[in-house]
Amino acid sequence: MKKRMALLFSGLVMLFAFILYRIFSVAMGNDLAEAAGRQSTYTLVVDRPRGKIIDCKGDYFTQCEEAYVAAVAPCNEALYALRDVLPEKDLEALMFKMSQGWPFLLRVPSPQFYAEEIEVFTVKERYLQQPVAPHVIGYLDGGGAKGVAGIEKAYDEWLSQGGRALTITYKVDALGRPLVGVEPEVRDETAGYKKGVQLTLDIDIQRICEEAAKKYLTAGAVVVMSVPDGELKAVVSLPDFSPRDVGSSLNSENSPLINRAFTQYNLGSVFKIAVAAAALEDNVLPSYQFNCTGGITVDGHYFRCHKRDGHGVVDMEKAFSESCNPYFISIAQKVGYEKLLTMAQNLGFGVYSELAPGMKTDSGLLPSVKVLRSPVGLSNFAFGQGEFMATPVQVAAMVTAVASGGEVPRPRLVQALIDEDGTAIDAYDAVPPYRAISRYTADTIKHFMMFAVEQGTGKLAKPAFGGAGGKTATAETGWKKDGRDVYQAWFAGFYPAEEPKFSIVVLAEDGKSGSVSCAPVFRDIADGLCRLYELNAVDNATSQ
C-alpha cells in the first residue's frame, strides 16, 4: 500500500509539473507556432480487426479470446480508478502516460470499474494466450496492422478488412488536452466485411502433436498428413514462440521463428523407403539376400553398419526393419544411380511446395549426377547421407504415397478463402496425385514398415491400438557441438496399419536416434488420434 501511495504521489507530481510546463511554454511563446497548427481532434485506434483464420472444421486459430481496452483522458479521477485495477508492475507506466497529457489506450484486466474520463471497449485478442500452430499462422507487425509471417503475411490484403477500425476521437485544445465536458466520438467500422482463411489443419490434431512433441523434443518438427489426399493436418515446429510477444524471440540462439517443418535436413535411413521402391520397380525381389558382416567396402571406402558385428544374411524385409546400411548399399549398386535418382525425384524430393502465396517449403537437395556416378557417392545416397537433404513435408508425402497404394499427393495447407459466415468464396481444390510406384511396390514397402514397428528398430513407435508402419533414421550432419557429433533423428510412418488415414513424420534436431528420440512421439500422436477418431477397432495383438 505504501508503494502504491508513493507511486500515486509521484504520478500526481509529474502530472502537475507537466501542466505547469505547458502553460509556461505557451506563455513564453515557445509552443505558439506548433499549437496554432495542431488539429482540434485526436483519434485513437482502439481495434483494427482482421479476418479470421480457422481450421478444417471451422474452429478458430485467431480472434478467440476477449480482451479489454481502456481509452483514457488524463485526469485525477482516471488515475484513481486505474490504480485499483492494474497490477503494481504497470503503475509506473501508467504515471508516465498520464504525465504526457494526451489521451491514450491501455489494456486492462477487467471492465468492472468506472471513471467518467475512461471508456472501456471489449475487443478480440488476435492470438490465443497458449498459441496453436504459430509458425503456420504467423504474426503481425508491432502496430498489429500488417502480416509479417505465415498465413498472416500470405493473405495480408485479404485479412486486413480494408483498413476498417474501431476508433475514439477526442476534441482537444491547442495543447492536445481533451476538452472538459465534451464527449468523445466512437466510430465503429468493423461490422461486416469479415473475410477469412480456412486451413486444412485440424486444431485438435495440432494440439495432440504439440503436446507430444513438447514432451520429448527440444528442437524439431512434426508433420501429420492425411492419406491419401495430402492435406496437412498438423504442422509443429519447436522451439515455438508467442505471436503476442515476437520481440522476445528475435535474438534467441535456438531460432524459434524458423519453421522447421518446412526446412531441409539430412535425412538418413528414412530414404531407404525410396531405395526399396527403386529396387522393387527394377524387379529386384524382396527375397534378394546379402550377408552383412558389419560393413561393406566400396571403391576403397569402408561403410560400417550400425550393428558392428553385422546382421548376417538378410533379405529386404529384414534389412529394412533392422536398417542395415550394407544391404541397401548393395541394392543401390545393383539398381544404379539413374533409377535411384529418378525414384527420388518421382517421390517429390528436390522440389519445393508452395503452400500459400509466397509461403514455400525448402526444396531439399539431391546429389548431383557427378557425385552419384562415384560408387562412394551412390553408396552414401543409398542410406540418405552425403549431400542429400529433405524436409519433413517431403518425407510425409513419400510415406503417404506408400500408404495410399503408390500415388504421391501434392501437399495442401489452404482449403478456402471464406466470407463472414464461413462459406467458401474461393475454394482451393486439391491437385490430383500422380503415380510414382506400382501398388505392388507400395504394398510391399508398407509391409516392411509394419514389420519394422512390430519387430525392428521402430518398436517404440508401436501404438496401443491399430498397429502402424514406420522407418527410423539417425542422420549424420558433419557438425559438432561441445566436442560431440550432431545427428538429426527421424521417424516416419503411417497410422493405423491396415487402412492408413494419416502419415506422421517426426524430426528431432540433435537427437540420439530415430528409435529413441522420435518413435515415442509418433506413438503418442497415434494414440491421440485413436482417442480422437476412435480408430481402435483393431488391437495391436491381432494386427500383426
Q: Which DSSP string do the residues of 277-302 spell out, in sequence order? A: HHHHHTT--TT--EEESSEEEETTEE
Q: Is residue 150 part of a domain?
A: no
Neighbours of 350 (CB within 10 A): 17
Answer yes or no: do 206 and 131 share one domain: no
Answer yes or no: do 326 and 376 share one domain: yes
Q: Is residue 393 part of a domain?
A: yes
Answer yes or no: do 365 and 346 share one domain: yes
163 has a pLDDT exceeding 80: no
Q: Are strands 295-298 and 52-54 parallel, antiparallel or unpaired?
A: unpaired
What pLDDT is recorded for position 14?
52
Q: Is residue 408 part of a domain?
A: yes
Region of 348 please: left (phi>0), alpha (psi -120 to 50) or beta: left
Which of 82-91, 165-174, 472-481, 496-505 bottoms out in mean pLDDT, i.e. has the lowest? 82-91
pLDDT band with cut points at 50, 70 and 90 for residue 2? low
Answer yes or no: do 302 and 418 share one domain: yes
State mean pLDDT over 240-244.
95
CATH assignment at residue 182: 3.90.1310
CATH assignment at residue 500: 3.40.710.10
Answer yes or no: do 22 and 88 share one domain: yes
Q: What percent of the chain is predicted at pLDDT more than 90?
A: 73
Answer yes or no: do 386 and 407 share one domain: yes
State mean pLDDT over 163-172.
90
* CB contact at 8 A, 44 and 103: yes
From the centroid of its chain, how far is CA 346?
26
Answer yes or no: do 171 and 295 share one domain: no
What pLDDT is recorded for position 540?
43
Match 561441445 to its residue by C-alpha cell.
482
Answer yes or no: do 469 and 355 share one domain: yes
| Greatest distance between any 2 Cα atoms in the chain | 99
Rounded-to-integer distance, Cα 469 and Cα 315, Å = 18
Task: Report the domain count for the chain.
Answer: 2
CA dihedral over 362, 368, 371, 372, signed as positive or negative: positive
Q: Is residue 453 part of a domain?
A: yes
> Residue 375 corresponds to which cell in the numbers above?
560408387
544 has a pLDDT exceeding 60: no
Q: Which tens digit of pLDDT belongs to each residue from 312-369?
A: 999 999 999 999 999 999 999 999 999 999 999 999 999 999 999 999 999 999 999 9
Neighbours of 244 (CB within 10 A): 15
pTM: 0.87
* Orientation of helix 272-281 relative to helix 337-346, angle to 10°: 110
Match 538418413 to its residue by C-alpha cell.
268
pLDDT band with cut points at 50, 70 and 90 for residue 88? confident
What pLDDT is recorded for position 129?
87
Match 475487443 to its residue by C-alpha cell.
123
Answer yes or no: do 451 and 518 share one domain: yes
Which of 75-79, 233-237, 516-520 bottoms out in mean pLDDT, i.e. has the lowest? 75-79
229 has a pLDDT exceeding 60: yes
Answer yes or no: do 235 and 130 share one domain: no
Which whole-number Å values give the CA distances from 305 to 174, 311, 327, 340, 449, in the listed order? 82, 9, 9, 21, 20
Q: Is residue 26 part of a domain?
A: yes
Rounded-to-integer distance, Cα 411 and Cα 414, Å = 10
Half-sphere exposure of 216 (CA within 13 A, CB side): 27
Phi, psi dihedrals of residue 486, rounded to the nearest 5°: -105, 130
> Residue 397 corresponds to which cell in the numbers above?
508425402
Answer yes or no: do 169 and 316 share one domain: no
Q: Is residue 148 part of a domain?
A: no
Mean pLDDT for all residues in the chain: 90
Q: Is residue 446 part of a domain?
A: yes
Answer yes or no: do 185 and 217 share one domain: no
Which whole-number Å values give the CA distances from 69 to 43, 45, 98, 468, in the listed order? 15, 11, 16, 50
Neighbours of 188 (CB within 10 A): 13
Q: Which domain holds residue 120?
A: 2-137+164-198
Which whole-number Å values give the CA distances from 51 to 136, 190, 234, 417, in the listed order? 16, 11, 21, 10
Q: What percent of the chain is predicted at pLDDT more than 70?
A: 90
H helices within 336-368, ranges in order? 337-346
Q: Is residue 153 part of a domain?
A: no
